[in-house]
Every structure is written in structure tokens, then in C-alpha cells.
Amino acid sequence: MSLFNIFDIASSALSAQTQRLNTTASNIANADSATGPDGTPYRAKQVVFQAVPQDAGNGPAKVRVAGVVEDGAPARKVFDPKHPLADGEGYVTLPNVSIVDEMVNMISASRSYQSSVEVMNTAKALLEKTLSLGS
């Protein structure tokens, strides 16, 4: 029954978007973390989405997070000689988190999440109507 599969598909999207939102939260929270557990500044992380077709070919596909990669953008350097982590020239290396990018990511993830919830609600309403067939 295809309608039941919609729950699987929509929930895969929900968990993928949640993970994206989680990553965004981590990036925004650590936008100014000049040092991490290994002594280097925090690096922005991004999720990579991957489509998972349920049957071979171009049938309906679920989505999953293929992995979390580190953002390749160069680290931000700020001139602040008083900072305890400043280098010889007075520059502090700060994370490569772009707040603007993260805000856009956050809004996009939350919108996509809402869409998937709506899809799920519609599928549920249709299933309920189908179950009451003949009454």
C-alpha cells in the first residue's frame, strides 16, 4: 500500500532535516569558539543529503544523511593582540562559521521539515478516509 510508504519517506525527511538543524545549532553555538578539545578552532560542519531509492530505477526515494563533512571555508582571522590565543602578529584564528549561511540553512531546514509534516498529515487523513470506505 503506497500510502503507508509515505510515512516512511516523510519520516526519513524529518530525521534528515532534524540532523541538519542540529548541525546548524552546533555551528551557530560555536561561531566564536576559538579553541576546541584538540586546541584548534571549531570548524563548521555541514550535512550531505543522499536520496535512497526504494526499488531499482527512478521509483520513490527516501532521504538520508550520507555524512557530516567539515566546511572547507578558510578560518576567520581577527586582529586582537590582547586575546590569550593571539599569534605573534596579534591575530586570533576564529571558526569558519558563516552566521548568514547558517541562518539561511536553519530557515530552509525548518520549512522543509514543515512540508514533510504536512505530507504526513495528508497521508494520514487519506488513510483514515480509505479505512472508512463503505460506511
Partner 1 sequence: MIDRLDDYMRFQTEALKLRSQRQELLAANIANADTPGFKAVDFDFGKALTSVTSTSSGPAPAPEILYRQPAQASLDGNTVEMDAERAAFADNTVRYEAALKFLNTQLRTMLAALQG
Q: Which of 23, 24, 27, 112 binds partner 1 (CB under 8 A)?
A: 112
CA atoms within 13 Å, Cβ hemisphere of 35? 8
133 binds partner 1 (CB under 8 A): yes
Distance, in Å, from the CA atom of 87 to the CA atom of 37, rounded to the nearest integer, reads 19
Q: Using CB under 8 A, which of the segments 7-15, 23-31, 68-76, 88-96 binds partner 1?
A: 7-15
44 binds partner 1 (CB under 8 A): no
CB nearer to partner 1: pick between 13 and 97:
13
61 binds partner 1 (CB under 8 A): yes
Whether 74 contacts 93, CB under 8 Å: no
Q: Which residues of 10-39 are buried (b: 16+ CB within 10 A; e: fewer)?
A: bebbbebbebbbebbebbbebbeebeeeee
Radius of gyration (Cα) for the chain, nearest Å? 21
Q: Which residues bind partner 1 (CB under 8 A)?
A: 1-3, 5-6, 9-10, 12-13, 16-17, 20, 48-51, 57-63, 108-109, 112, 115-116, 119, 122-123, 126, 129-130, 133-134
